[in-house]
Amino acid sequence: MSKNDTVTLTDNATGKQVELPILRPTCGSPTIDISSLPKELGYFTYDPGFVATASCHSNITYLDGAKGVLEYRGYPIEQLAEKSSFIEVCYLLFHGDLPDKDQLDEFDDIITTHTMLHEAVKRFYSGFRRDAHPMATMVGVVGALSAFYHHGEDIHDPKHRMITAHRLIAKMPTIAAWSYRYTNGQPMVYPKNSLSFSANFLHMMFSMPTEEYTPDPLFVKALDLLLILHADHEQNASTSTVRLAGSSGANPFAALSAGIASLWGPAHGGANEAVIRMLQDIVDSDNDVAHYVARAKDKSDRFRLMGFGHRVYKNFDPRAVIIRKTCMNLLAELGTNNKYQALFDTAVELEKIALSDEYFVSRNLYPNVDFYSGIILLAMGIPLNMFTVIFAMARTVGWISHWNEMIEDDDFRIGRPRQLYLGAETREYVDIDKR
């Protein structure tokens, strides 16, 4: 190892030095391997929120936050959004390369024939309150699948892992749609094998046993695009949760359920729902955009501009650019009198004001993937509380691909962060009558 491939760390108290190797990625920032620190110098490192820490190495997705780059397995998101389909992106993320025609047909066929749920799973739904948030239902039902796929499952067998991935990708739309149907007191609609992945989801959401239903091709296309854009995003909170939960060797359905719980939060996937609530409040307040911008800047107010800002993107979120354009085109197709135009116009105005405001400019806060996606979903007839569920449906392939990668990694070991303990020093137990 040459001197240029290391960083020398000196402990000023003792003068002791340690050479830490620099790991060079295919793309992106070099990374210092600090794993020898505790042994060499007796130190841990402190990095709340993992701002500067790579928790693993990965071959799946690459982000360059400064340049607004997102690539799945090396393919730019703009190209995938324009030319690919969600099912092809699932193959790409899980297997690592684009499929040829036969591979794609076979994969599509496998996913299509795994969409049914065990009939007993249907009964789980009736245990939930009718007004349960569908994300709560999803956490429960996906976790419950571990009771159906556990015995005989060997996570160290690549074939078993692949079947698990097929099951999860395929069953998630059924689980998602059924949580909506249950809330509405409507019959659960079974998947239809003649339909594409996205068309089938709309069919399970909206068709009635009493009538013929043909999913609107415009909506099918828009949904497929949203699924592509949400399919993976390297080591975000929910993916890291799946990795950590799965690192103990836990059942993958249970690990995915932990990921869904993490995604639900408004700082993560729950933001798409929060954006629409915020935009609607602004519209209802006679478009007092300036008031909301002022609130977002006021440090004594917990309010934030939802759909703004990102831990990694410090220039623009490439997904937001694509979604904004799609949203604009979709609303134009629906005609100028549609009721979502007001939300879109408000979003555009908010973006304009925020992007010329010193507070947002100096902090590199830009619209993220969630800023415009909700308007598309609303226009498709998807209710607000299903937005994050659809995000989870899309991200499932990312989660399971990372879980798979983690298990086949030679460095695979249980995830176990350290801590900086600031609690009480050792003290003697005092009997209750003497406290």
Positions touching ligand CMC (CB under 6 A) are: 49, 236, 267-269, 271, 296, 304-311, 363, 365, 368-370
To ligand CMC, the closest distance from the beta carbon of 51 in angstroms equals 8
Catalytic residue check, 166:
no
Select 269 or 374, whichever has its Cβ closest to ligand CMC.
269
Is residue 293 classed as helix, strand or coil in its secondary structure?
helix
Active site residue 310: yes
Residue 311 beta carbon to ligand CMC: minimum distance, rounded to whole angstroms: 4
Instruction: Report angle CA 12, 13, 15 to the nearest 5 degrees.
Output: 60
Measuring CA to CA, which residue among 218, 189, 183 is closest to residue 201? Answer: 189
What is the residue whose two structure tokens read 């729950």?
A: 270
Instruction: Using alpha carbons, list the distances in angstroms from residue 16 to 5, 10, 11, 98, 210.
Output: 19, 6, 5, 50, 78
- What whole-number distance in Å separates Cα of residue 410 and Cα of residue 404? 12
Closer CB to ligand CMC, 160 or 311, in the complex: 311
Q: Given 370, 411, 431, 433, which residue is catalytic?
A: 370
As measured in angstroms, the least distance from the Cβ of 355 to ligand CMC is: 13
CB of 14 to ligand CMC, least distance (A): 34
Catalytic residue among 233, 310, 317, 402: 310
User: Is 33 or 301 the residue whose CB approaches ligand CMC more closely?
Assistant: 301
Helices (H), 247-302: 252-263, 271-284, 289-297
Between 107 and 264, whose beta carbon lies closer to ligand CMC? 264
Residue 324's contacts (CB-CB under 8 Å, 6 or more residues apart) are 367, 371, 372
> Which of 123, 140, 120 is closest to 132 using CA atoms?
140
What the block records as the tokens of 335 is 């005609």
Say how many CA atoms lie within 13 Å of 57 toward its Cβ: 16
DSSP letters along 202-217, please? HHHHH--TTS-----H
CB of 305 to ligand CMC, least distance (A): 4
Of 68 and 307, nearer to ligand CMC (C-beta) is 307
Q: How far apart are CA 422 and CA 425, in angstroms?
A: 9
The residues annotated with a catalytic role in the active site are 310, 370
